[in-house]
Structure 1
Amino acid sequence: MKKVLACLFSAVLMVVATACFTLKEPDLAQASTEIRLAHVVNEEDSFHIAAMKFKEIVEERTDGEISISIYPNAQLGDERNLLEGMRMGTVDMGVITNGPVANFVEEIAVLELPFLFPSREDAYDILDGPIGSELLDNLKRVNLKGLAYAERGFRNLTNSKRPVHTPEDVSGLKIRVMENPVYIDTFRALGANAVPMAWTEALTAMRQGTIDGQENPVNVIHAFKLDEQQDYLSMTRHTYAPAIFVMGQMNWQGLSPEQQEIFVEAAQEASEHARQVNFEMEEEQLQELQERGMQVIEEPDLEAFRSEVHSVYDKYGDDFGEYLERILDEL
C-alpha cells in the first residue's frame, strides 16, 4: 500500500510540475523590454512614419526581446521636455527636431544655417558622413545618444497676412520660430518679429491670431492643416532641418552591444525611409493645400533672401568651430 501511495504521490508531483512549467513558459516567451519613443507631431507626419519603421525593424531583429511603444502628439511633453526627460532617464527616446537639440549641443546648429544646403542630396551627404557622425557623437557630453538623422525637411514660410515674394514682404510679420538663436536671428535679419515658442503653443497662437505665421516643411504644413489659419505659403526653402533619433545615455547603456547595433541600423534605415516618403509626397501635399485654398508662391526671390542673412553667418560662424568651414568645403 505504501508503494502504491508513493507512486501516486510521485505522479501527482510530476503533473503539478508539468502544469507549472506549462503555465510559466508563455510568460517567459512574452517577456520583453519596452522602449517608449516619443515625438510631438501627429500620426500623418514624417516623424511618425520614421518611428513606425524603427519599431518594425527593432522588434523584428530582436525577435521580440524589445518592444517599441510610440507616443505621438506631445503626449509626453514638448521637445525640450522630452530631451530633458531622456537626460534624466524618465523618457527613453524620441524623434526630435534638430533645433531644440542645439540648445544642449550648440555646434549642431551649424546644420540649420540659412541657405546652407543647395539640395536634399547635399544635406544627406553631410549628415550621413563623418561630419554628421561627429556631431551626433557630441551629444554624449549632455547624457544623450544620437542614433541617426531623420528629416524635418526644407522649411518654408506661411502667414495669414500677405503673399511673400521678397524680404520686404516679411517686414513686420510676427513669425513663430523654434527656440533656437539661429532661427531667431535669421528671421530678425529678414525684418520679421521673431517669436520663439514650442510647437504646441504655436498651434494655439495661430488659431487665436496672436502670431501671423510660422515656418516649417510642406509635410508639417499639410499634416497640421495650417491652411485653415494660414492663407499664404512661400517656398523659401530657407533652411534644411534635420531631425534626430535620440536616446538617453542611461537607456542606451542598458542595451546589449548587439541591441545597440540593431538600434543604430534601424534608426538609419527608418530615417532613409522617411526621407523618401517626404520626397514622394511633397508635390501631392502642395497640390492638396492649393485645392483647399492656400496660395502658394512657388518662386520667391531667393537671392534677395540670401543677401539679407549674411549677418547670421557673421554672428555664429565662429561658434561652430571648424564645422562650418568643413561643410562648405564638402559642398
Structure 2
Amino acid sequence: MKRFFVLFLGVAMSIAMVSVGFAKARTIKLAHVVNEQDAFHVCALKFKEVVEQGSDGSLKVTVFPNAKLGDERTLLESLRMGVVDAAIITGGPIVNFMPRFGVFDLPFLFRDPDHAYAVLDGPIGQGLLDEMEGFGWKGLAYGERGFRNLTNSVRPVAVPDDVKGLKIRLMQNPIYVDTFKELGANAVPMAWTEALTALQQRTIDGQENPLNVIVSFKLYESQKHLSLTRHAYAPNVIMMSMATWKKLTPEEQNVVLEGARAGAKANRDLDNEKEEEWMAFLRGQGMEIVEPDLAAFRNAVAPVYEKYGDQFGEGTVQAILDTE
C-alpha cells in the first residue's frame, strides 16, 4: 500500500507540474493591416520565430494580417485595452494620439536609411518609444514603410519647379499637405481607395508612396514618371499592449524585445535588398525614373520647418539633423 501511495503521489506531482507549465504558456496576438507578401509580414514572422524559440515554449505568437483585427487606429485602441497583445503600426495613426511622433513627417528630415536608423535606434527614437507607455503601449522597436517618392502622369520631376501645378494626392496629414503646397503643387488630401480610382481616371496627376506600394498597387499602369524624391521617411513601430507587457516575466520581456528588434531588422533588410529590383521592374513596365536635385527641394520646403519645428520639443529637429 505504501509503495502504491508513493507511486500515486509521484504521478500526481508530475501531472501538476505539467499543468503549471501549460498554465504559464501565453499566446500573443500580433496584428498588422497588410498582406502576407508585405515587409510588415516578414517582420511579424521573424518576431514569432525569435519569441517562440527564445521563450522555450512559454510564449506562442499568432499573427493576424490583412486588418483581420481592425485598421491601425482600431489596433491602437485595442492595444490600450489589452484586447490585442501586439501590433505593427505605421507612424500616421500614432500621431493622432501622440502628436510629437509627427516629427518624423517633416520633409527631407533624413538623408538616407543609415541616418534614419541612427536616429530611430538612438536616444531620440528610444525617447519616443518610452513616451508610448503613457498611452498604454510598450514601444519595442522601429521597422519601416520606407522613403516616399513622387509619381505622376504628366512630366518628369527633377527640380521643384517641375512640381508646380501638378494635382497630387496626399495622405490627410497637414505636414505633407503644406510640404507640397510649398513646392507649388495642387495638394489633394484623399483616402487611398479613392486615390486609386482618381489616378486611373486622371482626375489627379500623381501621388507619393514608397517603392513597394508603387509596385504592389501597379501604379505604373497610370503613372509614367517616378522621381526618387525621398521627401519623407515613414517608420513603423512594433509595439505591445502595456497590459500584456506587465504580465510577462523579465525573461519573457527580454525575449519579446529581441523578437521585435529582429523583426525590425528583417523588415529593413528586405526593403534595402529589394530597392534595385523594384526599380528595375518599374523601368521594365515603362516608368521613367529621375533622381532629382534634393538640395533644391530641401530649400523650397524650409517654411514647413519654420511652421512646425518648435512643436516637437526644443532642439529635437536640430538634433535629428545633426545625427551622424
TM-score band w.r.t. shorter chain: 0.7 to 0.9
Q: Conserved in 2, the CA contact under 8 Å of 1:100 and 1:178?
A: no
**Structure 2 residue corresponding to 1:178, chosen from 171, 183, 187:** 171
Give the SS at the match of 1:132.
helix
**Structure 1 residue corresponding to 2:54, chosen from 61, 79, 83:** 61
Unaligned 5+ segments in structure 2 are: none
Partners of 2:234 and 2:208 lie apart in 1 by 11
Report 1:139-288 matches (<5 A). 139-197=132-190, 199=192, 202-203=195-196, 206=199, 211-288=204-281
2:111 is matched with which residue?
Answer: 118
Mapped pair 1:324 → 2:322: no
2:129 is matched with which residue?
Answer: 136
Q: Which has the larger radius of gyration?
A: 1
2:302 is matched with which residue?
Answer: 310
Deviation track 1:242-263 (CA, whole Å, cap 9, x = no partner) reads 1110222222223222221111
2:81 is matched with which residue?
Answer: 88
**Letter aligned with residue 88 of structure 1:** M
Partners of 2:241 and 2:169 lie apart in 1 by 28
Q: Rate the CA distance shift 1:128–1:294 in 2: closer, same or farther, 3 A.
A: same
How far has the Cα of 1:309 moved from its partner? 0.7
Q: Rate the CA distance shift 1:91–1:171 in 2: closer, same or farther, 3 A.
A: farther
Partners of 1:256 and 1:46 lie apart in 2 by 29
More deviation, 93-102/201-210: 201-210
**Letter aligned with residue 256 of structure 1:** T
The number of aligned residues is 320
Unaligned 5+ segments in structure 1 are: 1-5
Deviation track 1:106-141 (CA, whole Å, cap 9, x = no partner) reads 122222311111121111111111111001111122
**Letter aligned with residue 243 of structure 2:** M
Give the SS at the match of 2:108.
coil
Mapped pair 1:50 → 2:43: yes
More deviation, 170-179/57-66: 170-179
Q: Rate the CA distance shift 1:84–1:189 in 2: closer, same or farther, 3 A.
A: farther
CA-based RMSD of the aligned residues comes to: 3.1
Q: Rate the CA distance shift 1:204–1:255 in 2: closer, same or farther, 3 A.
A: farther
Partners of 2:282 and 2:18 lie apart in 1 by 54
Task: Please list every run of at least 4 consecutive aligned residues from structure 1 whose deviation after the TM superposition is greater than 6 angstroms.
Answer: 24-28
Partners of 1:203 and 1:54 lie apart in 2 by 32
Deviation track 1:278-297 (CA, whole Å, cap 9, x = no partner) reads 11110011101111222222
Give the SS at the match of 2:56.
coil
**Letter aligned with residue 46 of structure 1:** A
How far has the Cα of 1:31 moved from its partner? 8.0
Partners of 1:83 and 1:165 lie apart in 2 by 38
Give the SS at the match of 1:36.
strand
Partners of 2:25 and 2:204 lie apart in 1 by 46
Q: Rate the CA distance shift 1:75–1:190 in 2: closer, same or farther, 3 A.
A: farther
Partners of 1:195 and 1:328 lie apart in 2 by 29
Partners of 1:143 and 1:29 lie apart in 2 by 28
**Letter aligned with residue 147 of structure 1:** L
How far has the Cα of 1:266 moved from its partner? 1.1
Partners of 1:201 and 1:223 lie apart in 2 by 17
Q: Rate the CA distance shift 1:72–1:203 in 2: closer, same or farther, 3 A.
A: farther
**Letter aligned with residue 237 of structure 2:** I
TM-score, normalisation: structure 2? 0.86
TM-score, normalisation: structure 1? 0.84
More deviation, 203-212/272-281: 203-212
Deviation track 1:23-77 (CA, whole Å, cap 9, x = no partner) reads x969975984222222222222211111111111111112232222222222333
Mapped pair 1:127 → 2:139: no
Give the SS at the match of 1:103.
helix
Q: Percent identity?
A: 54
**Structure 2 residue corresponding to 1:102, chosen from 77, 83, 95:** 95
1:300 is matched with which residue?
Answer: 292
1:3 is matched with which residue?
Answer: none
Q: Rate the CA distance shift 1:110–1:76 in 2: closer, same or farther, 3 A.
A: same
